[in-house]
Homo-oligomer: A and B are copies of this chain.
Amino acid sequence: MSQFDKIAGEIKLAHGGGGRLSRDLTALFAQVFDNPMLAPLADAAVFDLGGARVAFTTDSHVVSPLFFPGGDIGRLAVFGTCNDLAVMGARPLYLSCGMIIEEGFPAAELERVVGSLAQAAAEAGVTIVTGDTKVVQRGKGDGIFINTSGLGIIASGADLCGEEPCPGDSVLLSGTLGDHAAAIMTAREGLRFGGDLASDCACLADMLGGLLKACRGVKWMRDPTRGGLAASLNELVEGKSFGITLEEDALPVKPAVRSVCELLGFDPLHLANEGKAVIVTRSDEADHALKILRGHPLGRDAEIIGRVAEKPMGRVVLTTTIGGTRVVDMPAGELLPRIC
């Protein structure tokens, strides 16, 4: 039996949703491509190149709609790739930009997207050094898809500390949950929820670079995009001899995002973010790390949201406001297609 039989016939939208099926598919690819650099399935590969410690990552962006409150596909493509480098402790330097454009895509929209890519690159301090453009027939694409791959350098003294997370460590979140997904959903459905629903789409490199320099006990970071915080933390604990306990009261969620979740039946823990980092640090540094994060414009709403626990091993649990606990599973099912 082929491992691909697990896919059960054909690819479903959920294979791209960031939850369990996505994770299984990625693991399958890693098995076929079989190499130690891909195996950790981190946000970026890390290796030595000519004496430098380099991080390399790729992301294709298929977000729909292309323009939404707080951002657009161009900003998402640049910042998303920068963030994948930044959470590995790298300073983003160079990006590639591969566009797949559908025949008939309006020149005016292309101009907006390309201008936005350039503007975002300037803001993030990265250079788009190489590119490629393909055009597919009408009905064989959807406006524009953008792949950005990125290269960054990991400087010693501003990197992750190299230790594995262990019980007692603190878990921090750099800001409110779910803003990006809520903005996309409401833009897509044409809903209105007051003024503050906007994507959090932002480049984390400056804030995380500052954090790593100031706090030498940072062990692990991720930007919780597809699948949200639940997916990122489940990936961390899977198969490990520790678990994570979150405090529901400590989770920052904007009222408007909470309303969207209640109305549409979503859990903020499952919603994609595009300008947030979840961080595991030695507990004796947690308060200092929180202060550093809150001192940055992108980290004003940062919180210590939980801790690494001895058990339940391999699980993420939430201590609820009323004092109960519930398991936070890896999201399953379709979630939100084309959120990024």
Within 8 Å CB of A104, what residues of B? 10-11
Say which one of A52-60, A183-191, A207-215 lies at the interface with B: A52-60
Given the known A-B contacts A38-B128, A121-B33, A134-B16, are A149 and B58 also in contact in the complex, defined by CB atoms under 8 Å? Answer: yes
Q: Are A132 and B59 in contact, CB atoms less than 8 angstroms apart?
A: yes
What's the Cα separation between A53 and B142 when bound, in Å?
38
Contacts of A130 in B (CB 8 A): 37-38, 44-45, 56-58
As a 0/1 sequence over residues 138 to 159 of chain A, the CB contacts with chain B under 8 angstroms (1 = contact) are 0111100101010101000000
Whole-angstrom distance between the Cβ of A189 and the nearest chain B Cβ:
16
CB-nearest residue of chain B to A22: B133
Cβ-based interface call for A49 (8 A): yes
Q: Which of B2, B56, B338 is A136 in contact with, Cβ under 8 Å? A: B338
Within the assembled complex, what's the spacing in Å between the Cα atoms of A135 and B34?
23
Query: Please, could you name 20 A-B residue pairs with CB atoms under 8 Å apart, sorted by A?
Result: A9-B107, A11-B106, A11-B110, A15-B101, A15-B133, A15-B135, A16-B134, A33-B114, A33-B118, A33-B131, A37-B130, A45-B129, A49-B52, A49-B93, A56-B151, A58-B98, A58-B132, A60-B100, A60-B134, A132-B147
Residues of A within 8 A of B (CB): 2, 4-5, 7-17, 22, 25-26, 28-29, 32-35, 37-38, 44-45, 47, 49-54, 56-62, 93-94, 96-108, 110-111, 114-115, 117-118, 121, 127-137, 139-142, 145, 147, 149, 151, 153, 337-338
